[in-house]
Amino acid sequence: MTAKTYELRTFGCQMNVHDSERMAGLLEDAGYVRAPGDADGADVVVFNTCAVRENADNRLYGNLGQLAPKKASRPGMQIAVGGCLAQKDRETIVKKAPWVDVVFGTHNVGKLPVLLERARIREEAQVEVAESLEAFPSTLPTRRESAYAAWVSVSVGCNNTCTFCIVPQLRGKEKDRRPGDILAEVEALVDEGVSEITLLGQNVNAYGSDIGDREAFSKLLRACGRIDGLERVRFTSPHPRDFTDDVIAAMAETPNVMPQLHMPLQSGSSKVLKAMRRSYRQERFLSIIEKVRAAMPEAAITTDIIVGFPGETEEDFLETLHVVREARFAQAFTFQYSKRPGTPAAEMDGQIPKKVVQERYERLVELQEEISWEENKKQVGRTLELLVAEGEGRKNNATKRLSGRAPDNRLVHFAPPEEAVRPGDTVTVGITYAAPHHLLAEAPPVSVRRTRAGDAWEARHAAPPAGAQQQGVMLGLPTVGVPEPLPADTGGCGVR
């Protein structure tokens, strides 16, 4: 009997990417195989949705509509919808798209195979959206997209009440994993050949609030530093309110914690931050940046900024530009505010006209592009060790280059060495050119270090499972590292 095939379509933040790896693991554990790219559709198509993106529901129903005739002509085909939009809309999805077989939420990812089988046997849609977390994503089976890098969830949910964000309503209150469970997972991943892990949480540095230890996150970083074979540790994303001096010290003093920080600003105006209910002000934010730079002068700091929040004046916007100039972010992910149903900000007075938001957005992007380029130019002449990456350079085939990530997470394209180099290996290169969003090393690497992570990548690709296919993530974040800026169509925070 031929195994049933599946296809996963993922939208949204890092947490959704992590959840999708678990969904793939669950399906393969249940006997499904990933549909080849050249196949005429899969037996099961799963949408892992996001409720933060603008018009997320229209995009979902558009995709579902395209599948309707294919499902009608293909007996036994099933469609499942999970993620944040499923958590939010529940029965609405089946009413608008009655050909959907399964709807499941953010809290019961582990039920996907059972719900698919139940829908098949009963021949009716199964809608099951749990109100509280049934299992941490990291405790479920997984099919990781990368052989050398992995997400590790430290917490789920969020206790913040940002007025522009619907995520806490959909992911629930923060729940922390026990440190021992997290470290055991990291050690198991390293044993499999993983050399880089990213600690993941909706508000990652608030880790410990659920277990009564305010320094739990800094302790976790230091504990990761004691794991043999773990070369790079990253985390995303912290909140300025909870970012304490002990975390800065742990980052600076733990060699395998990378000199990279994603610190969401959202607005440089203290008045707007108050309206956003962000619980810090401009001075607090800039003091964090100053402390990080004092402890780690080489650190690359990135951020998120929302333009055009309700009530934002020109003076407020100029305050944001001031912070951008002072902080000198390596990159900023800039978003135009748009209403999100169910958030307090959607009902606020002072909604800004689209034309004004667009003009401010363009000014912000122009300033940040200038700063990003200037900061990248400072890297020219430096010698950096890169973790060789897979799929990071869109033009690599045409340019005959490879790509990798520097310790500070900057993307570097480099000339290939004479010897074979694999994703997961490391190379040492000299930077010769800088662009706003990447660096170039135009000469071959000074040295190549073959690693266990590279061995793991090679083993995975030497004999891929029947029907397996490397598949990217749509509208989400790359498996490794900070992405290029997303389109300016959202006012949500996601994991950031």
Query: How many CA atoms within 13 Å lie on the side-chain side of 39?
Result: 18
> What percent of the chain is predicted at pLDDT more than 70?
91
pLDDT at 403: 96
**Mean predicted confidence (pLDDT) in 345-349:** 94
Per-residue pLDDT of 360-380, as tens digits, reads 999 999 999 999 999 999 999
- 292: pLDDT strictly greater than 50: yes
CB atoms within 10 A of CB 37: 9
- 164: pLDDT strictly greater than 60: yes
What is the rounded CA–CA span in Å between residue 84 and residue 166? 9
Q: Exposed/middle/buried for 487, CB within 10 Å: 0-12, 13-18, 19+?
A: exposed
Per-residue pLDDT of 224-247, as tens digits, reads 999 999 999 999 989 999 999 999
Q: How far is CA 359 from CA 264, 317, 362, in A?
A: 22, 11, 5
- 200: pLDDT strictly greater than 50: yes
Residues 156/133, Cβ–Cβ less than 8 Å: yes
Whole-number average pLDDT of the chain = 88
Rg from Cα positions in the chain: 22
Nearest to 152 by CA among 123, 192, 111, 189: 189
What is the rounded CA–CA span in Å between residue 476 and residue 182? 24
pLDDT at 82: 92
- What secondary structure, in 3-state letters, does 3-14 show? CCEEEEEECCCH
| Tokens encoding 299 | 């650190």
- 303: pLDDT strictly greater than 70: yes
Q: For residue 284, what are the contacts with CB-CB under 8 A and spacing of at least 6?
A: 240
Helices (H), 306-353: 314-327
Residue 483's pLDDT band (cuts 50, 70, 90):
very low
Sheet holding 33-34, edge to edge: 33-34, 5-10, 44-49, 78-83, 102-104, 126-128
Per-residue pLDDT of 447-469, as tens digits, reads 999 999 999 999 988 855 444 44
What is the rounded CA–CA span in Å between residue 385 and residue 459? 23
Residues 381/443, Cβ–Cβ less than 8 Å: no
pLDDT at 472: 38
Find tokens 């209150």 and name the residue.
173
pLDDT at 308: 97
| Tokens encoding 249 | 């010290």
| Tokens encoding 71 | 């499902």
Give how far the C-alpha of residue 43 lies from the chain's centroid of Cα atoms, to the nearest Å. 28
What is the rounded CA–CA span in Å between residue 163 and residue 364? 22
pLDDT at 39: 59
pLDDT at 494: 46
- 127: pLDDT strictly greater than 90: yes
> CA 438, 439, 445, 448: dihedral to nearest 10 degrees?
-40
Per-residue pLDDT of 56-110, as tens digits, reads 777 888 889 999 999 999 989 999 999 888 888 888 899 999 999 999 988 889 9
Q: How far is CA 436 from CA 115, 266, 298, 375, in A?
A: 46, 21, 17, 8
Q: Exposed/middle/buried for 25, CB within 10 Å: 0-12, 13-18, 19+?
A: middle
| Tokens encoding 239 | 């909140």
DSSP states of 137-196: GGGS----S-SSEEEEE-EE------TT--HHHHH-S-EEPPHHHHHHHHHHHHHTT--E
Helices (H), 328-474: 354-377, 396-399, 452-462
pLDDT at 477: 31
Residues recorded for the chain:
496
